[in-house]
Amino acid sequence: MDYYMKLKTFLFFPIIAALIHSCQSYTDSNAAIRKEMYAGKYKEATELIDKSDIATQGRNYALYRMEKGMLLYLQGDYTPAITQWTQADRKIDDLYTTSISKTAASFIVNDSMSDYSGEAHERLLLPIFSSLAFFANNDQNNSLVMIRRSYDIKKYLSSENEGKNSFKYDAFSHYFSAMVYESKGDWDNAIVEYRTALKNIRGDSNQSASGNFKNAEIQILKDLGRLAEFRRRNDIITDLKKKDPNLTWEKHNNILANGEIYIVYESGKSPIKVPKDFFIPTGGSVARVSFPEYKSLSYRSHYADIFINDKNIGRTIVMEDIGKMAEQALTDRRLRDIVKLAARVIAKEIAAKKLNDENPLAGLAAMGFNLATEVADTRGWTSLPDTIQIFRATIKPNKETSIVIKPENSQPITFTVTLKQNEKKLIRFRTFD
């Protein structure tokens, strides 16, 4: 072995070590951050993520801002949270047209070396949570701007055959948009949004009848009927009564005469990605093939009961199943992943064989490198909830009202509010257990 070949070999092993270290599972590397978040220690979790590698890695620019934005949002720091999410959204947009070089790097090593551009459902949820944050800051106009942004993302991704099936689990974007329009007194646009939310719920016949979404369908029907009656849209009322003659709703004039609470419950822990490995023969050797799959995280509070002045008035309703959206997003792109991975494994195999012909020791190291670096990309927006739920309640105006929210297996949350006639107030909260 001549001097230059020895030098190549000497330099090759540290490079392998560095790349293997960079392939550590994202799910494992941010476990400490999630632990603090699940314990409600949002500031501590924010400090940890700011000190972590993800904060400085260019390829994780968008992911860092997704995660940090959620931690700020959970602290009630809505304006900086929106800033983080807006930066993530813009970065992801740029990546769809400018990430050629990083994509090439991921083709050679693995997907985790590429710029993170988000799963389809994560892209949709960026403006949805921004909309919630704007509304929490009493900015209805920008709240609607963010909802319209989510529609643009849906339209674009559907045209690219990405995320189309996962979007059927989203009724919240249109339903919340209708709620915002109602807060502005724009009844006709609210009707349009309720009808679209209903169409989304009914897009999959099995989904509508599956329990959680059945309650969402009933809620949307009641809100649609209420506004249709108020706006004298007899065509809509006739259609609703034809399908369900027993359907009833609160009179809209009663809502106008009172204050109204919008409760948004972000429940549980979104599933996290874990690697699933397969070993397949490739000529004279064995290649490890690894795909990400979602692992559900257990939690006990799947709903919350609402009490006003000590009276139980109802239970929150699931309008967004993020866990199902996530699983569907991975399923939808599985074929593309298989094709890309197969091409990458073959390219690595050819390179290793060529290197082995020149230097058996380096060739052996290259084969080990192939096994070590062909790992699943487990990056994802891990701070998301599992579901988004809603509840609406009218309260008497100009009178102090006690509201107690009792999650299924979490500590009760108490609020005292006083609203003017026709005033709307958003109460949002999150549980992890």
Q: What is the rounded end-to-end Cα distance, in angstroms, of the chain?
A: 61
Total structural domains within the chain: 2
Q: Are residues 315 and 238 in the same domain?
A: no
Residues 100 and 28 in one domain: yes
For the chain, the residue count is: 433
413-418 contacts, C-beta under 8 A, 24 or more apart: 417/259, 417/261
Same domain, 332 and 406: yes
Q: Is 375 in contact with 275 (CB distance < 8 Å)?
A: yes
* pLDDT of amino acid 255: 96
- Of the chain, the percentage scoring pLDDT greater than 90 comes to 66
Whether 152 and 286 map to the same domain: the answer is yes
Q: How do residues 214-250 score in pLDDT, each as one tens digit? A: 999 999 999 999 999 999 999 999 999 999 999 999 9
Q: Are residues 206 and 114 in the same domain?
A: no
User: What is the four-CA torsion angle of 196, 202, 204, 208, rounded to 10 degrees?
Assistant: 130
> What span, in angstroms and rounded, lies between the C-alpha atoms of 163 and 321?
14
Query: Taking Cα atoms as reference points, which of 165, 162, 153 lies closest to residue 328?
Result: 165
> How far is residue 33's CA from residue 46's CA, in Å, rounded to a whole number?
8
Q: What's the confidence (pLDDT) of residue 129?
A: 99
Task: Please give the Cα distance from 167 to 41 (Å, whole number).
Answer: 32
Same structural domain, 83 and 152: yes
Q: Which of 384, 420, 431, 427 has the alpha carbon at shortest distance from 404?
A: 427
In terms of domains, do 181 and 104 share one?
no
User: CA distances (Å), 102 to each of 34, 200, 229, 334, 395, in order?
Assistant: 28, 36, 55, 21, 54
User: Residues 132, 204: one domain?
Assistant: no
Q: Are residues 72 and 187 in the same domain?
A: no
> For residue 427, what are the β-bridge partners?
263
- Could you tell me the sign of the dihedral formed by the alpha carbons of 288, 294, 298, 299, in that order? positive
What's the confidence (pLDDT) of residue 333?
A: 80
Model pTM? 0.86
Residue 163: pLDDT band (50, 70, 90) is confident
In the numeric block, the tokens 């993302």 are attached to 153
Statement: residue 109 has pLDDT above 90: no
Where does a domain end: 256, 286, 311? 256
Q: What is the pLDDT of residues 291-318, one digit of tens each?
A: 889 999 999 999 999 999 999 999 999 9
Q: What pLDDT is recorded for position 202?
A: 83
Mean pLDDT over the full length of the chain: 85
Q: Band of the pLDDT at 332, cuts 50, 70, 90?
A: confident
Over 70: is that where the pLDDT of 371 sits? no
Q: Which residues are bridge partners to 269 per DSSP?
A: none
Task: Quote the pLDDT of residue 28.
Answer: 84
- Give the CATH number of the domain where residue 219 resides: 1.25.40
| pLDDT reading at 208 higher than 50 | no
Please check whether residues 289 and 191 belong to one and the same domain.
no
pLDDT at 340 (0 to 100):
65
Q: Which run of H or E residues covers position 199?
A: helix 187-201
What local confidence, expressed as pLDDT, does residue 6 receive?
Answer: 47
Domain end point (choices 224, 256, 288): 256
Q: Residue 75 is part of which domain span?
A: 3-170+257-431
- Dist CA 414 CA 207 (whole Å): 33
Is residue 265 domain-shared with residue 135, that is, in the same domain?
yes
For 154-308, strand residue ranges (E) read 259-267, 272-282, 285-295, 304-308
Tell me what pLDDT residue 353 has: 59
One domain for residues 157 and 280: yes
Q: Is the pLDDT of residue 100 over 50?
A: no
